[in-house]
Chain A
Amino acid sequence: GAVVSQHPSRVICKSGTSVKIECRSLDFQATTMFWYRQFPKKSLMLMATSNEGSKATYEQGVEKDKFLINHASLTLSTLTVTSAHPEDSSFYICSAPKGNYGYTFGSGTRLTVV
């Protein structure tokens, strides 16, 4: 149980275009989801907290107009990277809190901007 499905697993896009990443909780409801970014050989960096039915909370230094987060239902949060540039190339991971077990994580999305 407590599965989070993330899609797509990898995407290549052209510079200047936008990319949407989906994160779904399959067997539970998630009022909160978290989005992380990970650069090669680095740890996961929290980008934002996605709240169902309200605005997302962004970590310091993360541009909210560039990384649009929507959490319109209890099972779906989306992250849209707008006007992507090569420096946005990274591994993006979503997660949701699951009771005492902390978090359950998606499998991640490898974004490459060319």
Chain B
Amino acid sequence: DAKTTQPPSMDCAEGRAANLPCNHSTISGNEYVYWYRQIHSQGPQYIIHGLKNNETNEMASLIITEDRKSSTLILPHATLRDTAVYYCIVRAPNTGNQFYFGTGTSLTVIP
């Protein structure tokens, strides 16, 4: 799997948009970008994934650059419950390959 780099921590004011960046400059053509988050002492939770088009669901939006070397996860209106560690992972789909987690970004939503 391609390696990803993320800032170790970020703060965001409650109600504002949280924009979490991820660099994946060595991503392969068939690899998707996945975002997960882990709230303290819980298993990781799926957020969103995409290949090259921007994606949106009820939780977040994913913006992938045209060259696919980086992406941004957007939480449009952050709440205190969004405080978690956010992981960006790249992987080819349906391969059964392992997820290797990087260090992620610890997001703190401030009241």
Which residues of A pack against B, CB within 8 Å?
Answer: 4, 6, 31-32, 34, 36, 43-46, 49, 91, 93, 95, 97, 99-108, 110
**Contact indicator B98/A102 (Cβ below 8 Å):** no
A-B CB contact pairs (8 Å), 29 listed:
A4-B43, A34-B99, A36-B101, A43-B87, A43-B101, A43-B102, A44-B38, A44-B44, A46-B100, A49-B98, A95-B43, A95-B99, A97-B94, A97-B96, A99-B93, A100-B32, A100-B49, A101-B49, A102-B32, A102-B34, A102-B36, A102-B46, A102-B89, A102-B91, A102-B99, A104-B46, A105-B36, A105-B43, A105-B44
Interface of B is mostly: loop
Q: Range of interface residues on chain B? A: 20 to 34
Residue of B nearest to A96 (CB): B96
Chain A residues contacting B87 (CB-CB under 8 Å) are 43
Residue of A nearest to B104 (CB): A43
Chain B residues contacting A46 (CB-CB under 8 Å) are 98-101
**Contact indicator A107/B102 (Cβ below 8 Å):** no
Chain B residues contacting A91 (CB-CB under 8 Å) are 41
**Chain B 22-49 interface residues, beta-carbon cutoff 8 Å to A:** 32, 34, 36, 38, 41-46, 49
**Contact indicator A99/B43 (Cβ below 8 Å):** no
The answer to whether B65 has its CB under 8 Å from any CB of chain A is no
**Contact indicator B94/A99 (Cβ below 8 Å):** yes
Residue of B nearest to A34 (CB): B98
Residue of A nearest to B46 (CB): A101
Report A27 CB to chain B, min CB distance, Å.
15
